[in-house]
Structure 1
Amino acid sequence: HARNWFYIIHSKISRCLLEILPEIEERFYAERDNNEVKALGWLAEQVHYDDLTTIKSWRPVFLVLTDSEICFLSHSPVSRQASRESNITYPVLSSRLIQSTRDTSTDIDISLLSLRVGTKFGVVIHTFRIETKYDLDYWTTSISQCIQSAVQRIKEVIFPCKWNNRLCKLYLHYEDGFALYAEPDIGNISARLLWQEPFEKLRSSSDDNNHLLMLDFHGEEGVMELYFDASPKSFVFHLHAFF
């Protein structure tokens, strides 16, 4: 009976969200650099897990997926200020979904969905409890499609780094692959191309989660070692989205 009541309440909340969706979309579009809302809704995020007792703690989070961001809010964005000030915001291209698993701590069919994000501090993981199969399909499809659309729309991202102790910019293009340009010298406007490689030449990539990124194109120069000011995980996750 409790589960039946849950489905009734869940259905009511979903219908209410649909009713206010145009209003939320308008506010997000106006307050967050014309970003279009692709998905939104309440989820339960895991905040603690006790290995000994296997007890999990959860908190409600209102998740909004736009065409370029994933926004975490503590309440629904019913005001302009709430639309503008999210608790946490990640670029969608720095995010990646992990395959869902069944929550074995319950007897009912609840799934756990993990979102991994590459940031300048390393990898951040958010785990959500998905109550219905419809919600699971809704979020996995929405996030996957949003990442693909963002790649085709943005086309290219740029990351400052160092190579052979030179200040450079590493370009990642969704069709052309990698290109490394040296920062222009004083008095020189144009940047000089140092090397360029297509995606298909990349044999392996690795990083130390600190500053060092290694790209192996099996070229004459060997493994390319690039140094970032912070963790290179943001680049790594962008690479997974583009490649």
Structure 2
Amino acid sequence: MELHSPDAVHSCILRAADQSEAIGWFNTLHSALALLTASALHEASRFIPDLRHIGWFLRKPRPESQVSSSESSEDAERWQAVFAAVTDSELRFYESAPWSGESWKTPAEGYALIATRLVGSARRQDNPEFSIRCATVEGVVTHQLRAETHRDLAVWAKTLVNGSHASAVTQREFVCRCTWKGRPTQLVIHYENGFTLLESGTGSRTLWRHSFDQLRHSSDDGKRMLFLDFGGSGEESEVELDVEVCPKPIVFILHNFLSAKLHRLGLYA
């Protein structure tokens, strides 16, 4: 077993006489640390009132982060400890456990929950793992994470899924600038009302509307084009929108709107 200090500076390795003793020590330490984490969450809520969950992960380094030519292949593949926190609107990663109100407010990485999706989990006996995808204006960032126990994995998965749904319900509406058939427009995606395309400028004339149940397919080119297929045969049935930036956040927000609506009905996406 390895124990790491909250500042990620110190660590120690514990070796037991046999597997049974190791499991006993692990369970005891894990239970004690869970109580301390709950206490730390309560304390940290003074600085971030909407803080919902905190804890440690092991994260597999992303290929784009492996930039040092001096690293061995073994070092590049080594899972790294990362401290994570979930608020009402964000998933945050810290290089170490925050020690002050200011450090809680300055994560190393932050991703909007409404544009974050849990895409899979592996219930392996020894390594409970799952992956999340976070849409940003630069594209999709994938994090492969490992929890200490299957119970920890389940809690994190539930926290992230419920958080993304709650964020969708709270935000209710997403508006972005785009171009349709060469015309400057605004796309409005509303949690209840579906899709509305407005003409830019004074008056904002409505060009078309579609409900969520009319949507047959959505896709994008990963660069700036968003494609929406509403079925039918009219010019408004197969829509191509130039959103000027990476369309991935729009697609992820759309999917979380739909997923939240399904969960509200007692169904699962």
Partner residue, 1:132 = 149
Per-residue CA deviations over 1:58-100 (Å, capped at 9, x if unaligned) read 1111111111111111122220111111111111010000221
Within the candidate set 238, 242, 248, 1:223 is matched to 238
The CA distance in 2 between the partners of 1:133 and 1:102, in whole Å, is: 7
Partner residue, 2:43 = 23
Deviation of residue 48 (structure 1)? 5.7
Partner residue, 1:195 = 208
Q: Is 1:72 matched up with 2:93?
A: yes
Q: Which runs of 5+ in 1 are unaligned?
A: 30-35
User: Is the 1:180–1:194 Cα contact (8 Å) retained in structure 2?
Assistant: yes
The CA distance in 2 between the partners of 1:211 and 1:4, in whole Å, is: 53
Opposite residue 176 of structure 2, the aligned amino acid is F
Deviation of residue 238 (structure 1)? 0.4
The CA distance in 2 between the partners of 1:21 and 1:118, in whole Å, is: 27
**Which of structures 1 and 2 has the bigger CA Rg?**
2
Moved over 6 A (4+): none
User: Is the 2:115–2:249 Cα contact (8 Å) retained in structure 1?
Assistant: yes
Partner residue, 1:96 = 117
Partner residue, 1:32 = none
Within the candidate set 162, 175, 180, 2:179 is matched to 162
Identical-residue share of aligned pairs (%): 33
Per-residue CA deviations over 1:15-43 (Å, capped at 9, x if unaligned) read 111122222111113xxxxxx11211111
Within the candidate set 118, 134, 139, 1:117 is matched to 134
TM-score by length of 1: 0.87
Q: Is 1:242 matched up with 2:252?
A: no
SS of structure 2 residue aligned to 1:205: strand
The count of aligned residue pairs is: 228
Q: Which runs of 5+ in 2 are unaligned?
A: 1-20, 67-72, 259-269
TM-score by length of 2: 0.79
Partner residue, 1:33 = none
User: Is the 2:179–2:243 Cα contact (8 Å) retained in structure 1?
Assistant: yes
SS of structure 2 residue aligned to 1:27: coil
User: Is the 1:24–1:78 Cα contact (8 Å) retained in structure 2?
Assistant: no
